[in-house]
Amino acid sequence: MTRVYPQFVVAKFGGTSVADFYSMNRSAGIVLADDHVRLVVLSASAGVTNLLVELSEGLESHDRMDKIDTLRAIQHTIISRLKSPSIIGKEIDQLFENITRLAEMASTTPSSALSDDLVSHGELMSSLIFAEVLREREARAEWFDARKVIRTNNLYGCAEPHLSQIETLAQAHLRPRLEQAIVITQGFIGSDENGQTTTLGRGGSDYTASLLGEALHAARVDIWTDVAGIYTTDPRVVPQARRIDHISFSEASNMAAFGAKVLHPATLLPAMRKNIPVFVGSSKNTAAGGTLVRRETENPPQYRAIAVRRKQTLLKLHSLHARPAYAFFADIFAILAEHKVEVDLVTTSERGIAMALNGTGCTSGDDDTLTTALLTALSSHCQVEIETGLALVTVIGNQLTGSPGVCRDAFMDSEEDCVRMIFHGASNDNLCFLLPENTADSAVIALHRRLFE
């Protein structure tokens, strides 16, 4: 008799949670411990995506085969621990034939579309192996190709989802399967209207889980990673960082947008739209608990967390002509729009504009925002200055613009830091500043000590 699951959970496992056989088996135990988990979204095994990105950028034959051999060793080391490795081994070997072919193509004619096709193989392999791990534990598990339902545009490397199509396709092709088996699928990848593989950007598996949770009206989305929840800042930088047991969607979304790596920046948007709670915990230690992200929390604090976004670029533009500021600004932002440059932080003066550009997020290894065509177009209107090697430090809280003393608290211990730019006021709930990347950690340590310790 088919069991109906009106209230089911989507569980997503990150790369470290499926890094090897032991990790996969532990993650399988988490899935089987909760009858409500019916859909599992997987990242590639740890280290695999980076190797595939390197292959997609084009390598000489010897280096190319070294990378492929390393990839093969990662996957076959896991497969060798299965009771019946030959079955899944043949499917993985077929995927390696694709990887080899695409990597050869990338060495002569690289493209963003080819890169997405190549990089997608990490999730395809991990999900195939994980489904077999579950079957060997006598679970009814079914593998499903996420590209059948995650429909996107063709902005390869950072594709944007088509929400209405995803919901229609998920309800038609994915929902019925949840009643029959635990469904294992891939995060991070999708397809455009022509069936070409796309990717959602680095860390996009979280986003996939949330998109599918929204489309299928899940009761909760669980994000299993290598840390036991969301912390006041990165515990690897500040060991004294404290876990936040309950946090609002807006606070967590702010943290993700400004560099907190525990969640993909877009993850919470689908959950917010359908008011689906998101749990973040460690697959290595489920007993440690985690963080529950929900619409509201009781008594939100003035200061919630500190986030860091590295690999930032400062672009400064100075007008060459004595023109009204509004005309200069209009010309500059028209050029930026034409070249599809997303600018999230801006300051202006009478004849100048300064903006922070984010060099992280897309699948490809290098940020290609500042193209020759863009710089040529800008240079006809203004003097262009570019400064790289910066980090954006963000203090995240609640109603910061209406609270006295915020700037004092933020900058009291930064007299030795060369702050390049400050952003405050556009948002009620954060204060951001740019500084050299090599001073970011010390600034965060001092700031955390003042605000949270």
Q: What is the pLDDT of residues 414-444, one digit of tens each?
A: 666 788 889 887 888 999 999 999 999 999 9
Question: Annotation-wise, does 365 bind a ligand?
Answer: no
Residue 197 near residue 116, CB atoms below 8 Å: yes
Predicted pLDDT of residue 117? 97
Question: Annotation-wise, does 49 bind a ligand?
Answer: yes
Question: Annotation-wise, does 90 bind a ligand?
Answer: no
Predicted pLDDT of residue 366? 52
Mark whether 212 and 312 lie in a shared domain. no
Predicted pLDDT of residue 370? 86
Mark whether 354 and 208 lie in a shared domain. no
Of 176, 198, 225, which one is at a domain's C-terminal end? 225
- Would 238 be classed as within a structural domain? no
Question: Annotation-wise, does 14 bind a ligand?
Answer: yes
Question: Annotation-wise, does 261 bind a ligand?
Answer: yes
- Token representation of residue 203: 């860390």
The closest of 223, 212, 218, 215 to 247, measured between CA atoms, is: 223
Q: Let me know if 441 is exposed, middle or buried by CB neighbors in 10 A (0-12, 13-18, 19+).
A: middle
* pLDDT above 50: residue 62: yes
Question: Annotation-wise, does 204 bind a ligand?
Answer: no
Question: Annotation-wise, does 236 bind a ligand?
Answer: yes
Question: Annotation-wise, does 262 bind a ligand?
Answer: yes
Of 166, 198, 225, which one is at a domain's C-terminal end? 225
Predicted pLDDT of residue 1? 42
d(CA 140, CA 35): 12
Question: Annotation-wise, does 40 bind a ligand?
Answer: no
Mark whether 31 and 149 lie in a shared domain. yes
Number of domains in the chain: 2
Question: pTM for the full model?
Answer: 0.88
- Would 171 be classed as within a structural domain? yes
Of 191, 225, 259, which one is at a domain's C-terminal end? 225
Question: Annotation-wise, does 12 bind a ligand?
Answer: yes
Mark whether 64 and 205 lie in a shared domain. yes
Q: What is the pLDDT of residues 318-336, one digit of tens each?
A: 998 888 888 999 999 999 9
d(CA 357, CA 378): 15
Indicate which CATH number applies to the domain containing 319.
3.30.2130.10
Lowest mean pLDDT among 184-193, 304-313, 364-373: 364-373
Indicate which CATH number applies to the domain containing 91.
3.40.1160.10
Question: Annotation-wise, does 208 bind a ligand?
Answer: no
Range of 354's domain? 304-452
